[in-house]
Structure 1
Amino acid sequence: MIAALNQLIDQIEDRLADDVDVAELVAGLGTTEYHVRRMFSSLAGMPLSEYVRRRRMTVAAADVVAGDTLLSVAARYGYGSAEAFGRAFRSVHGVGPAEVRRDGGPLRSQSQLRVRLTVEGNTSMDTRITERPAFRLIGHAARVPLIHEGINPHIQAHITSLPATEHARLTALSNTEPPGLLQVSADVDPDYTEGSELTYLHGVAVDEATPVADDLDTIDLPAGTWAVFRTEGEHPGALQSAWAATATEWFPSNPWQLRPGPSIVAVLDRSDDFSTATCELWLPVERA
């Protein structure tokens, strides 16, 4: 995976003046665009699309300082007008190209990345691989923004808006793994961009034969393989640390890659104030 990411970065560098088609570049790397985007964002701390934008504007800044006309630079990097290029330039550097040409800066350069990963295994990964037949997630869904760290207040508000009787009703419906009440994140931006919207479902897993009431939202999942990571400790810190470690330690060390599908958190046990918890993180995977 690390070699594939570095090859992708090299190919992007060769195509900064073109329309970078990530799907086309990934096709020859022996992996999938979905997996590459998720791993890149986890390791680099930014979406792949944002890295391309920053690198393009970093290289374009050199052309601006060199004295090329703004229109020619805009056309060179695929912008239809000097105004559109100027907006993109300012969004990266904080100043417009005219100021940079006059003053030589300031510039916020994005260096070319090189992924060099030392896998030390310093995060305990209690993991199992399980094959699951097709099953269904049912519950109450809401569109919420993605937040990488800490408690997501939008998800918290969605859960607390449900009456206690509804939690009990859902729990009684659960009849297959993952067990109990579930926290489901679906339709997530492949770049894992913070602030982008996802579908959050508070619900349970049922088998395909289970009838579903009309007032419940449904996510149907095909048969497939899942990697299940068990976490214990501070919540949600331990769970978020384990999620990060899947990218930095587990996936680079194992012959699996993410496939499209929701991530699922099953809370197996928790303290009364939910400050600590034992959870299972379910991720859909396939052989790399």
Structure 2
Amino acid sequence: MIAELNRLLEAIEAELSEDIDVGALAGGFGTTEYHLRRMFSSLAGMPLSEYIRRRRMTVAAADVATDGRMLDIAVRYGYGSTEAFGRAFRAVHGASPAEVRADGGPLRSQPKLRFRLTVEGNSSMDTRITHRPDFRLVGLAARVPLIHEGVNPHIQAHVAGIPASEHARLKALSNTEPAGLLQVSADVDPDYAEGSELTYLHGVAVDAQAATPEGLDAIEVPAGDWVVFRTSGAYPAALQEAYAASATDWFPSTPWRLRPGPSIVAVLERAEDFSTATTELWMPIERA
């Protein structure tokens, strides 16, 4: 995966002044756009689309500093108007093209990235691969923003608003793996951008043949392979570290890649105040 990401970076540099077809590039590398975007954002700490915009505006700054027509420069970098180009330019540099041309700055550069895999081998991941037939996730769903670190207050508020009777009702419905009450994240932005919206479902897994009770939301999950990471420790820090380690350690060293689908967290044990927990993180995968 590291080699594919570096090939992607080279391709981006060659096409900064053109529309970049990430899907076509991913196919040429023998992987999927979904997996490529998720791995990039996890390792780079920013969405792929944001990196492309920053690099494009970094290079464009040199042209802005010349006396070329601003519209020509805008078109050269894929923008249909000087207004659209100016908004993108200001978002990166904090100043308009006209201000930079007049004063020479300020300018903020995005260096070209290069990924390297560092193998330490000083820790192991408690992981298993399992195949699951079709199943359904049923529960109570809400649209919430993605937050990478710490407790998500929007999810916290959603769960706190569910009556105790509903928790008991849901738990009684569970009849297949992953077992018990689940934290489900679906419809996640492939770039995994902070603040982007996702569907959060507090619910359980049931057989595909089971009916969805009235008043509950449902997510259909097709048959496929899953990687399951077991974590124990401070909550949610240990769980969030497992997400990060899957990208930095596990996927680069295995013949698996992410496929579209929900990620699922099963809480196996927890402290009364939820300060610590033992969890299983389920991620949908396929052979690379």
Pairwise same-fold verdict (TM > 0.5):
yes
Gaps of 5+ in 1: none
Structure 1 residue runs of 4 or more that deviate by more than 4 Å after TM superposition: none
Cα distance, 1:236 vs. partner? 0.2
- Find the aligned partners of 2:193 and 2:38 in 1 and give their Cα distance: 10
What are the equivalent positions in structure 2 for 1:106-255 lying under 5 Å apart?
106-255=106-255
Q: 1:176-198 deviations in whole A, cap 9, x for unaligned?
A: 00010000000000000010000
User: Residue 192 of structure 1 aligns to which amino acid in structure 2?
Assistant: Y
SS at match of 1:36: helix
User: Residue 48 of structure 2 aligns to which amino acid in structure 1?
Assistant: L
- Find the aligned partners of 1:99 and 1:121 in 2 and give their Cα distance: 50
Report how many residues are paired. 288
Whether the 8 Å contact between 1:123 and 1:245 is mirrored in structure 2 is: no
Q: 1:139-185 deviations in whole A, cap 9, x for unaligned?
A: 00000000000000000000010011110111111010001000000
- Find the aligned partners of 2:183 and 2:137 in 1 and give their Cα distance: 10
- Find the aligned partners of 2:68 and 2:25 in 1 and give their Cα distance: 30
- Find the aligned partners of 1:85 and 1:109 in 2 and give their Cα distance: 17
Q: Does 1:269 align with 2:269?
A: yes
Q: 1:40-90 deviations in whole A, cap 9, x for unaligned?
A: 000000000000000000000011113222111111112111121111100
Identity %: 73
| Residue 42 (structure 2) aligns with | 42
Q: Name the TM-score, length of structure 1 as normaliser.
A: 0.98
- Find the aligned partners of 1:123 and 1:61 in 2 and give their Cα distance: 44
- Find the aligned partners of 1:197 and 1:135 in 2 and give their Cα distance: 24
- Find the aligned partners of 1:225 and 1:217 in 2 and give their Cα distance: 24
Cα distance, 1:123 vs. partner? 4.3
- Find the aligned partners of 2:103 and 2:220 in 1 and give their Cα distance: 57
Cα distance, 1:208 vs. partner? 1.3
